[in-house]
Amino acid sequence: MSTLILTLITGVGLGALYFLVASGLSLIYGLMHVLNFAHGAFLTLSAFIGWQVAQALGTASWGSFLVSILVGAVVGAIFATLTELVLIRPLYERHIEQVLVTVGLSFASVALFEGIWGTDAINIAGPPWLIGTTNVLGASIPNKYWVLIAAAAIVLIALVVFLQKTRYGMIIRAGVENRAMVTALGIDVRRSFTLVFAIGGAAAGIGGVLAMHAQTFVSAHLGSTLLIFAFIVTVVGGLGSLTGAAVASVLVAVLQQVANTYLGGTGDFIVVILLAVVLLVRPSGLMGRRA
Amino acid sequence: MSTEPILDVEDLSSSIAGQQVVESVTFRVPATGITAVLGRNGVGKTSTLRAIMGLNHRRGQVRLAGERIDQMPTHRIVQRGVGYVPEDREVFAGLTVAENLALAERQAQPRREFVAELFPDLVRRKDQRAGTLSGGQQQMVSVARALLNDNRILLVDEPTKGLAPKIVTEVADALREASKLVPILLVEQNLDVVRQLATDAIVIAGGRVVHTGSAVGILDDEDLTRRLLGVSAETHPGETHAGQSHTGEARS
């Protein structure tokens, strides 16, 4: 019983991490039809900078932990905004070139990060509570998972409120449905492109700092590993659907953890099978609109 | 016509994915009343409107009250005062009626009362998702979006397509009311509606404007309507029975 509880809660925690990365990917694809391969680079840079900030402030304190998360969000947002303005915007409406430039940026970033911070993983430390556990019905749940779940829940709520209650959110929802018609109402939809990149980058940045704490190390490849699962989550949830990304994050991660625990560590394999099944049976994803 | 045209289209051509869809159209839209764009299906009426809006790749000159708008992106053209009601309505299905309308508001004081009087049903359904509305109600949302602002011209594409006769009358009435405030360039297949509403008409065939004149004059010229619109008093193979009918053959 305690193994099952541990598996489920760590699954949800991992899903929370996937969601932080996938939410931005899904919004960006939904509005701009760009699969952003550079999303992992936003995450990695945020983690490195967040780590350096935490080191400067003293890693053990909650204050420095929170500041590092905020810095991670800001770094992710700035990196993403610059990417959109400098690389994506000049290639407006050229989707293949846009995707290729993000692939190039992701490779170049990894090389750059290795040049700056080295090729070896760097062990990091945070507030001591994070490496402790909490007992839930006999299962010892590592505390870091609570932080992941809380962060993803806050980001999800903030995104939903933003999308439902603000004019920019309304423009983004309308643009995901029919971008041409948004421009035909006199709205410069390209401003929203920069905004979704910034929002996606911020969420990925938070994810980067938290992923680093979850793994207790940071490396230039932190983003690339997570990005693969975030893409799977985005496709399974339905490209462009935030709710789909949230549901699929939990579904994919819980399935992965259950398979890892009960099916001899076959989690990654099962996730790929799930992706194949979804693509065969429901190509638009769980909550996506028809392709 | 002595008055300046509100829209002056000169040698406009347009292509989609390298395929020419409008060859070369030249026409003027007077600053008052409704000007109908007529022609068989597939001659490029919708593509002409989309080219004016900058939604398709286009070449040629388009002037709005003398100002060139053919180099502008779509949102700028709209901001200059061109309202667009697209074919197939294109409401945002996941947004509520109120959100669809709010998105269209461009000025500090949009004409909400005017729209509410014209379409009281939309006020009652303001919190309903537009995707769950009937075709007629969606058309009202689409027309209302264009009427909320003080536009200098409206481009309206087949507003009665696929609607029940009662709704066709409602939409036509709304357009007549709107035309008192703003000139309209109307693509319409229902010739009854054209006869009721349009003052002038432009006929497109083979990607070019082949006739311009008064709407009633064109519709009353049986030879012209048969030749250019594919409609006549007789029944032709593949056509619906005519006179009071829609133009052209099956949709391409």
**DSSP-derived secondary structure for A144-178:** HHHHHHHHHHHHHHHHHHHHHHSHHHHHHHHHHH-
pLDDT number for residue B224: 83
pLDDT number for residue B239: 37
Residues of chain A with pLDDT below 50 are: 291
Sheet with B7-16: list strands edge to edge: B67-68, B57-64, B7-16, B19-29, B208-214, B200-205, B34-38, B184-187, B153-157, B82-85
pLDDT number for residue B116: 94
Cross-chain Cβ contact A185/B95 below 8 Å: no
- Rounded to whole angstroms, the Cα distance separating B155 from B83 reads 6
Cross-chain Cβ contact B145/A185 below 8 Å: yes
State which residue of chain B sits closest to A167, comparing Cα positions.
B103
All residues at 6 or more sequence positions from A12 whose CB lies less than 8 Å from its CB, including other chains:
A145, A149, A250, A253, A254
Q: Kindly state whether residue B86 falls inside one of the protein's structural domains.
A: yes
Chain A residues lying within 8 Å of B97, measured CB to CB = none
Ranking A16-25, A149-158, B126-135, B242-251 by mean pLDDT, the lowest is B242-251
Do residues A57 and A232 touch, judged by C-beta distance below 8 A?
no
pLDDT tens-digit profile of A53-79? 999 998 889 999 999 999 999 999 999
Chain A residues lying within 8 Å of B145, measured CB to CB = 185
Among B50, B57, B74, B153, pick the best mutation site for testing chain A contact (most A Cβ within 10 A): B74
pLDDT tens-digit profile of B72-113? 999 999 999 999 999 999 999 999 999 999 999 999 899 999
Ranking A138-142, A195-199, B214-218, B223-227 by mean pLDDT, the lowest is B223-227
> Residue B250: is its pLDDT beyond 50?
no
> Residue B236: is its pLDDT beyond 80?
no
> Residue B32: is its pLDDT beyond 90?
yes
| Residue A94 φ then ψ, to 5° | -110, 80
State which residue of chain B sits closest to A178, comparing Cα positions.
B92
Helix (H, G, I), strand (E, B) or coil at B61: strand
Chain A residues lying within 8 Å of B92, measured CB to CB = 173-174, 177-178, 181
Do residues A29 and A234 touch, judged by C-beta distance below 8 A?
yes
Count of structural domains, chain B: 1
- Gap from B75 CA to chain A (nearest CA, Å): 4
- Gap from A185 CA to chain B (nearest CA, Å): 5
Q: Kindly state whether residue B60 falls inside one of the protein's structural domains.
A: yes
pLDDT number for residue B115: 93
Enumerate chain A positions whose Cβ falls within 8 A of a Cβ in B: 167, 170-171, 173-174, 177-178, 180-189
Do residues A248 and A204 touch, judged by C-beta distance below 8 A?
no
Q: Are strands B34-38 and B184-187 parallel, antiparallel or unpaired?
A: parallel
Q: Are strands B34-38 and B208-214 parallel, antiparallel or unpaired?
A: unpaired
pLDDT number for residue B221: 87
- Gap from B91 CA to chain A (nearest CA, Å): 8
All residues at 6 or more sequence positions from A119 whose CB lies less than 8 Å from its CB, including other chains:
A219, A220
> Residue B10: is its pLDDT beyond 70?
yes
DSSP conformational letter for A88 = I
- Comparing B66 with B248, the larger pLDDT belongs to B66
Tokens 């492109």 found at: A193
- Rounded to whole angstroms, the Cα distance separating A26 from A243 reads 10
Helix (H, G, I), strand (E, B) or coil at B68: strand
Chain A residues lying within 8 Å of B88, measured CB to CB = none
- The ipTM (two decimal places) reads 0.87
- Containing domain of residue B77, as a range? 7-229
Indicate the Cα dihedral angle B44, B48, B50, B51, nearest 10°: 120
Cross-chain Cβ contact A184/B73 below 8 Å: no
Chain B residues lying within 8 Å of A174, measured CB to CB = 92, 95, 99, 103
Q: How many CA atoms lie within 13 A of A122 on its CB side?
A: 19
pLDDT band at B245 (very low <50, low <70, confident <90, very high): very low
pLDDT band at B197 (very low <50, low <70, confident <90, very high): very high
> Residue B234: is its pLDDT beyond 80?
no
Question: What's the CATH code of the domain at B116?
Answer: 3.40.50.300
Whether chain A has a CB inside 8 Å of the CB on B88: the answer is no
Give the length of chain B: 252
Alpha-carbon dihedral sign for residues A197, A202, A203, A208: positive
Cross-chain Cβ contact B78/A173 below 8 Å: no
Indicate the Cα dihedral angle B4, B7, B10, B15, nearest 10°: 180
Do residues B81 and B153 touch, judged by C-beta distance below 8 A?
yes
Do residues B231 and B239 touch, judged by C-beta distance below 8 A?
yes
Whether chain A has a CB inside 8 Å of the CB on B50: the answer is no
- Rounded to whole angstroms, the Cα distance separating A208 from A202 reads 10
All residues at 6 or more sequence positions from B227 whose CB lies less than 8 Å from its CB, including other chains:
none
- Gap from B149 CA to chain A (nearest CA, Å): 10
Among A95, A168, A181, A192, pick the best mutation site for testing chain B contact (most B Cβ within 10 A): A181
**Structure tokens that stand for A87 in this block:** 């690389």
pLDDT tens-digit profile of B143-177? 999 999 999 999 999 999 989 999 999 999 999 99
**Structure tokens that stand for A168 in this block:** 């920019």
Q: Write down the pTM of the prediction.
A: 0.87
All residues at 6 or more sequence positions from B9 whose CB lies less than 8 Å from its CB, including other chains:
B25, B26, B27, B28, B29, B48, B52, B60, B61, B62, B63
pLDDT band at B231 (very low <50, low <70, confident <90, very high): low
Q: Which of B78, B93, B95 sits opposite A186 (nearest CB)?
A: B78
Do residues A40 and A106 touch, judged by C-beta distance below 8 A?
yes
Q: Which fold has domain A2-281?
A: ABC transporter involved in vitamin B12 uptake, BtuC (1.10.3470)
- Rounded to whole angstroms, the Cα distance separating A259 from A211 reads 21
**Structure tokens that stand for A150 in this block:** 């809380």
Q: E-strand spans in chain B?
A: 7-16, 19-29, 34-38, 57-64, 67-68, 82-85, 153-157, 184-187, 200-205, 208-214
Q: Kindly state whether residue B244 falls inside one of the protein's structural domains.
A: no
- Gap from B199 CA to chain A (nearest CA, Å): 26
Cross-chain Cβ contact A183/B145 below 8 Å: no
- Rounded to whole angstroms, the Cα distance separating A249 from A33 reads 20
Whether chain A has a CB inside 8 Å of the CB on B224: the answer is no
Q: Is B231 left (phi over 0), alpha (psi -120 to 50) or beta?
A: beta
- Rounded to whole angstroms, the Cα distance separating A23 from A239 reads 10
Q: Which of B75, B94, B149 sits opposite A183 (nearest CB)?
A: B75
Whether chain A has a CB inside 8 Å of the CB on B84: the answer is yes
Q: Kindly state whether residue B243 falls inside one of the protein's structural domains.
A: no
Helix (H, G, I), strand (E, B) or coil at A226: helix
pLDDT number for residue B17: 84
Tokens 């949830």 found at: A237
